[in-house]
Amino acid sequence: DVKVTQSSRYLVKRTGEKVFLECVQDMDHENMFWYRQDPGLGLRLIYFSYDVKMKEKGDIPEGYSVSREKKERFSLILESASTNQTSMYLCASSRGRLAIWAYNEQFFGPGTRLTVL
Amino acid sequence: SQKIEQNSEALNIQEGKTATLTCNYTNYSPAYLQWYRQDPGRGPVFLLLIRENEKEKRKERLKVTFDTTLKQSLFHITASQPADSATYLCASPLSGGYNKLIFGAGTRLAVHP
């Protein structure tokens, strides 16, 4: 059974803390994504990666950074957490970065609900 | 700007009826649309994909249509069951670039016994 796992389901941090969210996929997928989901706003793309050590900014990258040192692992880093980063964070992966793979679905992890106090 | 929109109001229907959810897009022409199901506290799960040259796609009790003139996709669940209650998201690729998707905010469906 294919899987995307995230390091924590729930996380509570204080303002100013550095926060690491880890995501691991076991499907040998090239693409990995980090989204945040807020009520009424839907899924918004923070960063994505189409290969090891490669990263591209999504729609809302400010205040976040990412790391992809291995194909199966994609980390999201909040350099200095703020209360407006309280949200549900979802990691996803999909197969292939070439256009011929453009139709493939994304597989999502269970999400991490982050609260910043 | 490119936008994809779903009805934000929850849809309440009676068990056994057909649920119809709408997804509208503006300022671009997606090569395909995807539909996902999301249960509370969980990540979305892929259900169906329909390409721009396909009018209709079916999978068991699910049917998706794609109208490029109306810039709209409809998602139907026939003979709905309480277990179908969830939030349904539509998504499409943006013009150009890698495999990025833009997601609608989702429509919550509640099927009542």
- Domain limits, chain B: 3-112
> What sign does the CA torsion over B95, A59, A111, A19 have?
positive
CA torsion sign, B28 to B29 to B31 to B36?
positive
Q: Report yes or no on A59 lying in a domain.
A: yes
- Distance (Å) from the C-alpha of residue B12 to the closest C-alpha of chain A? 18
Task: Write the CATH number for A73.
Answer: 2.60.40.10
**A89 in a structural domain:** no
Interface contact B57, partner A, CB < 8 A: no
Is B19 touching A (CB cutoff 8 A)?
no
Give the C-alpha separation, B69 to B77, whole Å: 23
- Indicate the number of domains in chain A: 1
pLDDT of residue A73: 97
A18 assigned to some structural domain: no
Average pLDDT for residues B46-61, to the nearest whole number?
93
In chain B the first and final C-alpha atoms are separated, in Å, by: 41
Residue of chain A minimizing CA distance to B35: A105
pLDDT at A48 over 60: yes
The minimal CB distance from B106 to the residues A31, A33, A42 is found for A42
Which range of residues forms the domain containing residue A70? 33-79
A66-95 burial, b if ≥16 CB within 10 A, otherwise e? bbbeeebebbbebeebeeebbbbbbbbbbb
Continuous H helices in chain A: none
Domain for residue A7, yes or no?
A: no
Checking if the pLDDT of B94 tops 80, the result is no
pLDDT for residue A87 is more than 90: yes
- Confidence tier at A100 by pLDDT (50, 70, 90): low
Does A73 touch chain B if contact means CB atoms closer than 8 Å?
A: no
The pLDDT-based confidence of A37 (bands split at 50, 70, 90) is very high
CB contact under 8 A, B42 and A92: no
Domain spanning B3-112: which superfamily?
Immunoglobulins (2.60.40.10)
Contact (CB<8Å) B43/A41: no
% of residues, chain B, pLDDT over 70:
96
pLDDT of B65 reads: 97
Instruction: Look at residue A98 and tell me whether its pLDDT is greater than 90.
Output: no
B-facing residues of A in 8-37 (CB < 8 A) are: 31, 33, 35
B82 has pLDDT over 90: yes
Residue B96 has a pLDDT of 62
Res. B99: pLDDT tops 70: no
